[in-house]
């Protein structure tokens, strides 16, 4: 999608600090980290949020979770949180599906 920030990161129009890339997804560090380790994993295909996932496109979500497991194991993150905000009230600010991976500090529950 031409006016989507994360599509621009996928196609290289906007730079990012890449952690991992393959044909289906991209992982890069968050520009405004909320924990000592904070990166995002996104599908290369534009999907607005979890609400846009369906039986035709859901394979990429499983793939993203296997990439999250691979990266967090490689980074030796024993404990971490995976978050996806859906909609403005939940705090979504970029409307391209993404999973936050946060680690390196104590986390509170429930989230604010
Ligand atoms: P959310 O608010 O859940 O939609 O998450 C969007 C995330 O994207 C926020 O944590 C932002 O800090 C992050 N973000 C925005 N612009 C960039 C960028 N250019 N590079 C990396 N992360 C970004
Ligand atoms: Zn997009």
The tens digit of pLDDT for each residue in 72-85 reads 999 999 999 999 99
pLDDT at 16: 98
**Is pTM, for the whole model, over 0.85?**
yes
pLDDT in tens, 85-105: 999 999 999 999 999 999 999
Q: Does the pLDDT at position 65 exceed 90?
A: yes
For residue 100, what are the contacts with CB-CB under 8 A and spacing of at least 6?
Answer: 30, 34, 38, 39, 40, 81, 82, 83, 84, 85
- Centroid of ligand 1 to alpha carbon of 70 (angstroms): 22
- Please, are residues 42 and 6 in contact by the beta-carbon 8 Å criterion? yes
pLDDT at 1: 79
pLDDT band at 2 (very low <50, low <70, confident <90, very high): confident
Cα(20)–Cα(67) distance, rounded to whole angstroms? 9
Whether a cis peptide bond, with omega within 30° of 0, leads into 58 is no
Which two tokens mark 79?
Answer: 């404990």
pLDDT band at 10 (very low <50, low <70, confident <90, very high): very high
- Centroid of ligand 2 to alpha carbon of 108 (angstroms): 30
Q: Name the closest ligand to CA 14.
A: 1
Establish whether 98 is a catalytic residue. yes
């Amino acid at each position: 999608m031409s006016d989507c920030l994360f599509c621009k990161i996928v196609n290289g129009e906007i730079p990012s600090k890449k952690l991992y890339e393959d044909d289906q997804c991209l992982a890069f560090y968050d520009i405004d980290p909320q924990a000592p380790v904070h990166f995002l994993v996104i599908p290369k295909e534009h999907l607005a949020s979890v609400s846009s996932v369906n039986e035709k496109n859901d394979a990429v979500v499983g793939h993203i979770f296997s990439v999250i497991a691979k990266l967090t194991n490689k980074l030796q993150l024993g404990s971490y949180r995976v978050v996806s905000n859906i909609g403005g009230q939940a705090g979504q600010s970029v409307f391209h599906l993404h999973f936050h991976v946060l680690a390196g500090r104590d986390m509170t529950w429930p989230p604010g």
